[in-house]
Amino acid sequence: MNDMILNDMILIPAGEFMMGSDDGYNDEKPAHKVYLGAYYIDRYPVTNAEYKRFVDATGHRQPNWKGGTYPAGKADHPVVRVSWEDATAYAQWAGKRLPTEAEWEKAARGVDGRRWPWGNEWGAGRCNSQETGIGDTTPVGKYSPAGDSPYGSADMAGNVWEWVGDWYDDTYYASSPARNPMGPSHPVIPNRVVRGGAWDYDDNDARSAYRDHYVLIYCDRWVGFRCASFAPALGRTKEGE
């Protein structure tokens, strides 16, 4: 897999995958084929240490840290208490962007429609969800490689919910484009999608097809993010291509 890594990012090759779930909640239906151009996605969620560099460089607001920095011993934990607007600002500063919902899901489950990143059977010890009883975030990559996706992305189930770029619409899948969907342009409610479950949510929420959503300014101790970027050398240079 090393030849598929660009710095801290993993290449997700162009192609189709099955998005959504016919046996999940209504907003996951219908399962449908989606084609995505090639893109890169962060191997891990953005950590406290990475986010602090952004805060120090830009003066952006801190995520409720005390004493001007993240809690001791949590440099390699995913940053939390960041809103969608905070996550977007970080991504822009880093020269990246938030992944689309489709990009996030393909990176999480691959092309074989698996329920969780590692497969179709729930696996204790493969992610940080409510079932572990830990009751807090864990260092990114703690459950790697056992909990990794087919592409090698880690922590896509559990640990923290991850913001994506799309507006939320519970009926979007019925009419979404079959090629590089970007989410609804006119949402019914002004909420953005989060994916992946978190340490305080159960195995069902950690499914790769599960969708949740929050208002843009929402920030809490179980919400973080990871970044993505286009892969222009492979033919996709802007949104929608």
pLDDT tens digits, one per residue of 46-103: 999 999 999 999 999 999 999 899 999 999 999 999 999 999 999 999 999 999 999 9
Using CA atoms, how far apart are residues 17 and 33, in angstroms rounded to an integer?
A: 6
The closest of 77, 85, 68 to 48, measured between CA atoms, is 77
Considering the domain boundaries, does residue 151 fall inside one? yes
Residue 158 maps to a domain = yes
**Residue 133 falls inside a structural domain:** yes
Q: What is the pLDDT of residue 207?
A: 98
The CATH number covering residue 116 comes to 3.90.1580.10
Q: Is 220 left (phi over 0), alpha (psi -120 to 50) or beta?
A: beta
The reply to whether 16 falls in a domain is yes
What backbone torsions phi and psi does residue 192 show, to the nearest 5 degrees? Answer: -105, 155
Contact present, 206 and 157 (Cβ < 8 Å) = yes
pLDDT in tens, 206-237: 999 999 999 999 999 999 999 999 886 444 43
Q: Are 160 and 82 in contact (CB under 8 A)?
A: no
Residue 240 lies in a domain: no
Q: Is 208 domain-assigned? A: yes
Question: CA torsion sign, 196 to 197 to 202 to 205?
Answer: negative
The model's confidence at residue 186, banded by pLDDT at 50, 70 and 90, is confident
In a domain, 239, yes or no: no
The count of structural domains within the chain is: 1
- What is the residue range of 203's domain? 2-234
Q: Is the pLDDT of residue 26 over 60?
A: yes
DSSP for 104-138 reads HHHHHHTTTT-SBTTBSS--TTSSBSGGG---S--
Predicted pLDDT at 3: 38
CA end-to-end distance (rounded Å), the chain: 26
Q: How confident is the model at residue 124 (pLDDT cuts 50, 70, 90)?
A: confident
Q: Is residue 184 part of a domain?
A: yes
CA pair distance 241, 231, nearest whole angstrom: 11
